[in-house]
Amino acid sequence: NLWVPSNKCKVCNLAECSGNPLGTSLAESERHHHRSYPCHNMYDSEKSETSEKLVTNGKRTSFSIRYGSGACGGSVNRDTVKFGEFTVERQHMGETTQEPGTVFQTANFDGILGLAFKSIAVGGYPPVFESIVGQHGGKSGFKPQFAFYLGKGGADG
């Protein structure tokens, strides 16, 4: 599943995310061993011209996902998603408004682009890569392949 934190989420960023924990100076925060946390980019569905809110039985369609390290939940939208050179239209995505605990608040990423198959995805929604194949699979030069490289750290991973 694909999900991103919503600008409606009140707990997706810690107050300390500005880089100066609790309003202290950087020197003070280092002296008191405070950690500064990243501020996350937030999705604003109202500013997207292509966002569609999913509705089931007259109510916003909701989702929740539990991972080994935490959980999140919110509502489901469809929107245009860009991944590399590909533009995917009407991609299902979660807009998180609940991220209990600090796992996602303190993470160095904004959301998650999952690699699960549609058959095991929350809500059975097609994952981004399946949508790419469905919308771009017939185009010249496209091969339905996926690869990644894990380096030993540093600049390459």
How does pLDDT run across 48-60, given as a tens digit for each residue?
999 999 999 999 9
Is the pLDDT confidence value at 22 over 60?
A: no
The pLDDT, as a whole number, for residue 68 is 84
State the CB neighbour count (10 A cutoff) for residue 81.
Answer: 20
Q: Residue 93's closest CA among 69, 121, 70, 67?
A: 121
Report the alpha-carbon distance of residue 1 to residue 138 in Å, rounded: 24
Whole-prediction pTM: 0.77
Q: Where are the domains of the chain?
A: 2-156
Residue 24 to residues 13, 18, 21, 107, Cα–Cα distance (Å): 17, 10, 6, 21
pLDDT tens track for 123-153: 999 999 889 888 987 675 666 677 778 887 7
The pLDDT, as a whole number, for residue 100 is 78
SS3 135: helix
Is the pLDDT confidence value at 97 over 80?
A: yes
The pLDDT, as a whole number, for residue 4 is 93
| CATH superfamily, with its number, for domain 2-156 | Acid Proteases (2.40.70.10)
Considering only residues 27 and 4, tell me which one the structure prediction assigns the higher pLDDT. 4
